[in-house]
Structure 1
């Protein structure tokens, strides 16, 4: 069977009259009748019950009709679907992100993209920066929100755009503050209190730039980080702080993650800042990615909470 035969069947089924259906199709009745008979022969079943006075669908024809109508409607939409895919208003965008972005720029990016392109399927996946880069190198996904490694430049096949930079703050056990174990200076955490406290941090292999930023702060303050636990999820790190295992230096946007038994304190003195940006393959020419990149240029990203 072909599309022409299916359109002939639909026309006759809608008016149940071969002459009127032929007129609607801009053809004469004999070739229309021949087309229907050829379709019936191919299907191995009659579609219409014909008499000299009337035409009616057979039980098989009546059940076959909605499938034909739906198929032809899909075919009629193919041209518009192609235009939407080419323009990026339809299709799919695969975006990965580090866990820190979930509390800073990711919600704003997703919200705005959904507003602009509601028909695009947005597939989100959480992964560390190293895993994102490895996946992109293998052709998986389209873009990723990463913490760039200052000492390990991206391959030439990648492009990168800085999106936001935010200061680090200290996530500390609340009990340490109430007991006086962790002294503060007008609500700020002084360097000596930081370097004397056990540290919970991302493993360096997962976020080398973040790890080096944190340990570099300890070194700049004249101390060495005493790492008691490593974790690759921010939620896990904050949970361990709540349990009193140690403190963590985290992006200021983590203040959005409220957790019982945890307080967030600004750091006293020179405060390091963590950068988050967008990485994608240089040769990815998909329209959905192009629209996403253009959106990030125009979007006013939220500031970290005070």
Structure 2
């Protein structure tokens, strides 16, 4: 009887020892990040519609509903990233969340701009002044999105630098903070992209002029920017001409334009653009 009991114990123990140890449950952070990434994947899948012949009809029936839906998907994913951030227990985890959320917001701005640019009516596209006004209005629409992305990416980069986080996520948020055009690796510098870059900093350019107006209330004139883009996307050469070229306002404007974050030009090519600016205290 005693031996039977011993054998039973040994047999039971052997079965228990032979069973595979169940894998640990996913952490609260991993689960939250997974849900956020699922939300971002849904956002990225929702591509802008292709333009039809009638721009007016396209905007009303296709582009408008697309933007409403893609914004909704973006906001839902952002909410999930916020929950993942709350669940993070280390600087590295927080950097991962902020990097991915910031990049997603930058993608929203870029995709919205491209969709609007692609739906420009033909009668506007063929007139330089109307085209510039249309693109400026489009830039105004996407500016809050870009600013929100910039705030998140700056927060991410600052956190990574403060805690010596060197992960791929940390490198990505630093890269996008320094040059948002990198959100699209296929993007290359072109005259249109340089002009867009100048439009994006026109508020800073305007401040240069307004600062000068404090000392010269009647100051008016023009500047023409002659911009060349180097292989890395940095402004490699900038020349200024026009009635204000020798004025202090020109030096301020030059500092703004030289810091433009642009995509690199196509390999083996050079991009050079001339861009006019007019300054008038009445405008």
On whether the aligned pair clears a TM of 0.5, the verdict is no
Higher strand share goes to which structure? 1
Higher helix share goes to which structure? 2
Whichever of the two has the greater Rg, that structure is 1
TM-score normalised by structure 1 residue count: 0.24
TM-score normalised by structure 2 residue count: 0.25
Say which structure, 1 or 2, has more relative contact order (CA 8 Å, 6+ apart): 1
